[in-house]
Amino acid sequence: MTLGTLSNEGPRRKVGFVGLGTMGAAMAANLVRAGFQLTVWNRTPGRAGPLVALGAVEAHSPREVSQASDLVVTCVTDSPQVAEVLFRADGLAAGFAPGSLLVDCSTISPASTRELEARLKDHGVAMIDAPVSGGSEGAVAGTLTIMVGGEPADVERAHDVLYAMGRSVTHLGPIGSGQVAKAVNQVILCGTYLGVAEGIVLAMKAGADVERVTEALAGGAAGSWVLQNRSGRMIADNYPLGFKIALHRKDMAIALELARSIGAVLPVAALAATFEDGLIAQGYGEDDNSALARAVRRLSGM
């Protein structure tokens, strides 16, 4: 079910945000701009300044965030980090009032999501999973695709918050469903990255005008977000951060483990993960995920 559009009706809601990395900081900024009373916290100090300048309040602990909020968004690295900010001594769970809602925009495994939701129920707190796609550009522009799992009533409670961060918000089913969709998203993306990288290398090695080739392909069946937004980086062999290759490798581990658990075979995803392992070992883990092209270029003597 795709949710309706953003509504600006009603009083300003008290919202918390934990996790102010590349994606989270931009998402939180859009919540402030949308008029929410925002309280923020980040595990690494020094990230909240620009948000405070916009009107957010910086808390000293996750508990202070949940105490000040009816709904809290988390956007951190992986399952252990979500569990930490929730259940440490001064974590979110210690400050939530009964009936509060957690919206987890982190990318973690579906199984971990279901375990965390069960633990939060013991505190009288509801949870939905809402991983995002669209890169840093989409986070800044508020045009993210958000894949949601959880009870329909809880998803509806998060409606305006989700639409302040994203353009496409789809409720896919019970808790964990958003994380399954995100795993599928990352599997498809890795194949697209590899395909675009191979096509660019082929064009360059054949002596073609690669920029004009990518322009010609963009309007046809080979057109994609990756071709449009990342081909330039692959051509230049320069990969400024949009989404860290190390984080994509973490996401691929989630997808590959899910595949193993249900008997699905993902040969392209496994190949991409192997390339990513090599790039990370060479010190390129902080590069944008389009740096997969670096591996294809080097194999081709470029």
Kindly state the tokens that stand for 178: 């958003």
Residue among 136, 162, 200 at smallest CA distance from 1: 162
Among candidate residues 14, 121, 182, 250, the one labeled active-site is 182
Where do the DSSP E strands lie in the chain? Answer: 14-18, 37-41, 57-58, 71-74, 101-104, 126-129, 132-133, 144-149, 166-173
Q: Which of 111, 118, 109, 56 is nearest to 86 (CA)?
A: 118
Active site residue 182: yes
In degrees rounded to 5, what are phi and psi of residue 19? 115, 90
Which tokens hold the place of 19? 């996790």
Crossing angle of the two packed helices 267-281 and 177-205, in degrees rounded to 10: 70
Residues 6+ apart with CB under 8 A from 91: 61, 62, 63, 84, 85
Catalogue the active-site residues.
182
